[in-house]
Every structure is written in structure tokens, then in C-alpha cells.
Amino acid sequence: MDNKNIKESIELIDAHLKNEGISRRDAMKLFGVGGAAAMLAGGTTTPLRASSAKAKIVIVGGGLAGMSTAARFTNSLDNPDITVIEPCDQAVSYQPGQTLVAAGVYTDSDINYKTADFVPTGVTMVNEKAVDFDPDNNTVTTASGKKIGYDYLVIAAGLKLAFNQIEGLGITESITSRGDSSAVKKVIGQNGICSIYFGDGAVDTWTNMQKFVEDAKSKKVTGIFTDPHTPIKCGGAPKKIMYLTDARLREAGARDNADLTFYPNGGAMFGVPEYHNAIQRQFETRNFKWNYRHNLVAVDPAKKVATFNKFWDEKGAWDEDLEEYTAVKKSEKVEVPFDFLHITPPMVAAEEIGKSAVGSDKGWVPVNQETLQHVKYKNVFALGDIAAVPMGKTGGSARKQYKVVVENVIAMMEGKPLTSKYDGYTVCPLITSLGTVMLAEFNWTAKPTPSFPLDPTQERWIWWLLKVYVLKPMTQMGMLSGKA
């Protein structure tokens, strides 16, 4: 079937399903495991080959990226010797589902998995935190003082949520998406202050969203949504939760009473112009407001006021040498009252990694963006949120990256050149309502790279089915098995 026929067929299915609806069972039948795997991959799966090469491989991080890498190694080596260091017993939980928990589509139990259930046969688990890295001597030391040697090190430790960088919240430490969030939960989840970026926070967001919607039935209310000054995982999520809040308000007949405003630190909705333009049109259609170049710096939970640093450039003096005007940076503090505040926190690398020899000034692990090999230590690789690549802090990116890492490590073990390359593929299923998703796919070119011959800037019901019913089981059955 050629691209034209595929496009026409999918558009007909999309239109029909949008009108008729579909059950979860029928959605699974429609896509099937193989079709979902291809969509998740942004292409076909890579065939595995067995290698007799031998080496001790240590993986720091047992979340989606790390455990998928471990599984891929066990599938690709005749005699694997793999150790995974991971302190959280829920590290493999399905983080992309937290947005849907926050909107009442999923429950936390739908996405909360036990790491132990996904450890590949033969892999040694060390349920501790890695606190010291000595790449010159090929060792990692855990919190208990256990020193673990390696021939190859893969860092897939994710990132941390730095709510402690926001004044007024009274939070003193950063946290991970899963694990102990008790200190943060005392503030985030109360007084209309929410965040979908950690498990408990997603649950509390749904509670606060329901109250916000109920209040909007009888009075004017204000909802604000932030996007910080650091790189973040799933760059579409701050907008997704805004779209879903809008959808719940409309469902309740209360949208006219709600003022919804997006406050991003950057100057665009999306780094890819085509998706930026599409999102801006969607915002206009839904009567959203937005204010670029606003970074959240403080929150007063009692008064329910958020403070932003608003910044801009003004024209300065004329530079005769450059023959242009200089730019003068300006900023001011802006206070915004709220009834509902969704915080996308600043995100950072774990201090133990960022300040170590394998880290960098910005914390992220510096790697070649294509081979994912450390720029200094050739037997060290990194992938997922912790890797210092221009884009790619999504599960869909990790799904491409882990195969590149495995193939390149095995190539080194066999004395061969590193030929596997990561092309920057990133996918963001941007939820735009309760029933539509814009499937934003792109790579290093910063241009849309759709897997199917459809306009990728269009919101579609069929991508909602993919997001809600298929990607989660495909992550479990595909990525965490190391096969998809």
C-alpha cells in the first residue's frame, strides 16, 4: 500500500472512531502489539544478534532507560555479566501516564510498577544509591561503601526535580519522580498547588483539579501553568496538563468562568516551528493566554500568589564597530494570584553525578550526541534524561537510545568501531483534549519526522487511542524486555 492510500485509510479510521467511539478491547485489537511497537519506535525494531564477547557491565539507574538497556544486553550477549544499581523499588513506573492520572483518566495503580518485576534473568541488582564515580579506576561506590568495578559503565540515572529552587515552598531537597516525596507532598498538592512530575503529585493534581472545576461552576477562577528555565523531561507535559484542565472545565460547563494562562521561561511553545505554530493556533482556539519569558521564582502558598521573573531585551547604545545596537537585558518581578497552579519544577542532574568526574558544569553527563559515548571516558556511556544531548528527554527518545548504547558497547567489546548512531529522534504525544493527541515527532533537524504519511500538526482521535491504550503495555512488553 502506498503512502497516499495509508494516509486516506488512517484518516477514515480516525474520523469514524472519533464519531463512534471505541472500547479499550477494540483499541488493542485495532493497533495490535506489532503496530504499536512500530509507532513507539518511530520505525521498525532492530534485530538482535548474539555476541560471545565478555565484559563486566554496570548500569547506574534502573528506570525505563536503564532496565531496558539491561534487558537488551541480556538478549544480545551469550554470557552477560550485568549489574544494575538502583535504590528505588518503583523506578520502572510508567511516568508518561502521570499526566493521565492527573486528569482522572488513569489511577496511580495503573502506572505504578515494581522494579523487581522487570529485572532480566541473570542481572544482579544492587538496591542502593551510587554516590561516587571513579572512571580513572573503573569503579562506582554505593551509599553503603560498596565498591563495584566495571569494564563498561552505562549511566541512565534520570534527573531530579528541584522544587527546592523555588522560594517560599519551604522545600530543601530535590526529589525523583518515584520514591519518597513526603517533604514535597506537604506543600505540592495543597492550596491548589500541583505538579504532575512525581507520582503522588499527579494524584493530588487530580484532586485539586476537581476542586478547581467545581469552584468554576459558581465563580471566576484563575489557573496558571509554568515551564522553568532548565531542560525538562517531556517538554510537552506543562501544556498537556493545561489542555486537560481546559477539557475538564468544558465537560463541566464551567470553562467561561476560568482564566487559564501559560507562563513559559522560553520564547516559543515548541522548539520545532511547525509544532509551535500548531500549538499557538490551538491556544487561540481554546482562549488560552500566554506570557513568554517568565520564570517562576517564588510561591506564597498561604496567599496563593506566584512570583515570576519576567525578562526581556531593550535596545541599547549604538556600537560603531559592529554597526548595530547593543542589547540591554531587563527584568522585573511579577506577582500573579492563582486558584490553581501547576508547577513544572526546575530539573537537575543528581549532585553525585553532576559534580563527579563523569559529570559536567551543568550536571548532565557529556556524551557524543550520536554514539552516546562519554566525551572523555571511552568505556562510559549515558542515555535518557541524564545525557547531555540537545534534545531527547522523553521515553520515546530512550527507546531509540538504549539500542544505540548496547550496540556500541558490544562493538567496543569486540574491538570494532562504533557505528550505531542516535539521530535525535524524539516523540511527544501532545494531549490536546480528552480524546485528541497531536503526535509530535522530530530529530536533530528540528523538523517534523512523522512515522506515518499524515499531517503531524493535526490533533487526532486515533493518537489518543495510541496514547491511552497502547503505549503503556508496549513499554512493558517491548522496551522493558529489550526487544522493541
| Span 183-213, pLDDT tens digits | 899 999 999 999 999 999 999 999 999 999 9
Q: Which domains are delineated in the chain?
A: 56-160+348-425 (3.50.50.60), 161-347 (3.50.50.100)
pLDDT band for position 33 (50/70/90)? very low
Is the pLDDT at 214 greater than 70, yes or no?
Answer: yes
pTM of the model: 0.91
Share of the chain above pLDDT 90, in %: 81
Beta strand 160-161 pairing with 147-149: unpaired
Q: Is 117 exposed, middle or buried (0-12, 13-18, 19+ CB in 10 A)?
A: exposed
Residue with cell 549489574: 83
Share of the chain above pLDDT 70, in %: 90
Mark whether 428 is an active-site residue.
yes
Which of 31-35, 129-133, 463-467 has the weakest average pLDDT? 31-35
pLDDT of residue 39: 45
Supply the mean pLDDT for the chain.
91
Rounded to an integer, the average pLDDT of 27-33 is 49
On whether the CB atoms of residues 397 and 426 are closer than 8 A, the answer is: yes
Q: Exactly one of 234, 409, 430, 484 is catalytic; which is it?
A: 234
Mark whether 194 is an active-site residue.
no
pLDDT tens track for 131-160: 999 999 999 999 999 999 999 999 999 999
C-alpha distances in Å from residue 135, one per residue of 140, 141, 171, 195, 358: 8, 11, 33, 36, 7
pLDDT band for position 316 (50/70/90)? confident
Q: Exactly one of 428, 465, 466, 468 is catalytic; which is it?
A: 428
